[in-house]
């Protein structure tokens, strides 16, 4: 027999979760974490490896989102039961992950890009998935399609950070890269740093944002420092 009291609580939590979710879907921002939107051609590089399904402690707002997502997801799954309950529960819980934190912050940043700004989004795990091969010029259509690309990303597979970075650096007209990752590459971190140093002959700026308690902060910080970028953790 279905416990309607439990369902009511679950619905309340889902409503809160949806409100938080919808807020980031409609709000705009002129920065991504503490990285201000620049006039440079910016390539957003997102780690979508399996480890990005892990928990992101993040800021206070992120922690609230995680708790709401986890609690609501669990209650939905138990109250409704069966395959539908399981699917809905997992969908709500996804907001609590590292990749969920990326989406909650990147989507408003892209939505806030000024008209004429050149930008592009890549994602990587075992391979690199490109939103497009050439930079987009920000307008309503470009911002909307890019955010749809980000929203539909799922975390799975390995972490070929090196290939992600090399393909980003090799992209024509790129001037600035923003790497979002837990900093746990398949390759030795020193190998990644050495290869990037060899290939980054045009002095592309590389900012790094580290997600999760298990992030390799040393690697992410060094990568940013050696490429004139800013290092940030999602807790900031």
The per-residue pLDDT for 184 is 87
Alpha carbon distance 44, 121 (integer Å): 5
Among the listed residues 199, 204, 135, the one whose alpha carbon sits nearest the alpha carbon of residue 163: 199
The per-residue pLDDT for 8 is 60
Predicted confidence (pLDDT) per residue in 136-181, tens digit: 999 999 999 999 999 999 999 999 999 999 999 999 999 999 999 9
Residue written as token pair 């939505």:
111
Alpha carbon distance 181, 166 (integer Å): 15
The per-residue pLDDT for 93 is 45
Q: Give strand ranges (E) for 7-113.
A: 31-32, 35-36, 42-47
Name the 3-class secondary structure at 114.
coil
* First CA to last CA distance, the chain: 46
Alpha carbon distance 165, 191 (integer Å): 12
The per-residue pLDDT for 103 is 93
Using an 8 Å Cβ cutoff, are 189 and 161 in contact? no
Kindly give, in sequence order, each residue whose CB lies less than 8 Å from that of residue 64, ignoring residues fewer than 6 positions away. 20
> Model-level pTM greater than 0.85?
no
Q: Which bin fits 33, alpha (ψ -120 to 50), beta or left (φ > 0)?
A: left
Tokens of 177: 């890269």
Among the listed residues 181, 176, 186, the one whose alpha carbon sits nearest the alpha carbon of residue 220: 181
Alpha carbon distance 117, 114 (integer Å): 6
Alpha carbon distance 122, 168 (integer Å): 8
What residues form DSSP beta bridges with 121?
Answer: 44
The full set of domain ranges for the chain reads 1-27+57-96, 33-54+98-236
Torsion sign over Cα 90, 12, 8, 68:
positive
Tokens of 62: 């992120």
Kindly give, in sequence order, each residue whose CB lies less than 8 Å from that of residue 193, ignoring residues fewer than 6 positions away. 219, 222, 223, 226
The tens place of each residue's pLDDT in the chain, 236 residues long, gives 555 565 565 555 555 554 454 455 556 666 778 889 999 999 999 999 999 987 544 444 544 444 555 555 555 555 555 544 444 444 444 456 899 999 999 999 999 999 999 999 999 999 999 999 999 999 999 999 999 999 999 999 999 999 999 999 999 999 999 999 998 899 999 999 999 999 999 999 999 999 988 889 999 999 999 999 999 998 74
Q: Give strand ranges (E) for the chain.
A: 31-32, 35-36, 42-47, 118-124, 128-130, 136-137, 176-181, 205-210, 231-233
Task: Tell which CATH architecture fits domain 33-54+98-236.
Answer: 3-Layer(aba) Sandwich (3.40)
């Amino acid at each position: 027999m279905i416990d309607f009291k439990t369902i009511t609580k679950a619905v309340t939590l889902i409503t809160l979760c949806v409100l938080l979710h919808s807020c980031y879907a409609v709000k705009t921002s002129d920065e991504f974490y503490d990285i201000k939107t620049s006039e440079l051609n910016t390539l957003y590089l997102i780690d979508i490896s399996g480890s990005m399904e892990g928990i992101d402690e993040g800021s206070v707002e992120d922690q609230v989102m995680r708790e709401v997502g986890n609690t609501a997801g669990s209650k939905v799954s138990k109250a409704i039961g069966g395959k539908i309950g399981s699917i809905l529960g997992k969908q709500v819980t996804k907001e609590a992950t590292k990749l969920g934190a990326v989406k909650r912050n990147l989507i408003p940043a892209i939505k806030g890009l000024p008209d004429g700004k050149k930008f592009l989004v890549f994602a990587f795990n075992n391979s690199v998935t490109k939103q497009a091969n050439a930079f987009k010029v920000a307008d309503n259509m470009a911002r909307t399609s890019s955010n749809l690309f980000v929203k539909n990303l799922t975390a799975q597979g390995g972490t070929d950070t090196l290939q992600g970075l090399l393909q980003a650096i090799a992209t024509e007209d790129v001037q600035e890269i923003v790497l979002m990752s837990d900093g746990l590459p398949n390759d030795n971190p020193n190998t990644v740093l050495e290869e990037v140093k060899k290939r980054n002959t045009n002095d592309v700026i590389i900012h790094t944002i580290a997600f999760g308690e298990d992030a390799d902060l040393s690697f992410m910080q060094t990568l940013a420092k050696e490429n004139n970028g800013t290092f940030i953790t999602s807790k900031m």
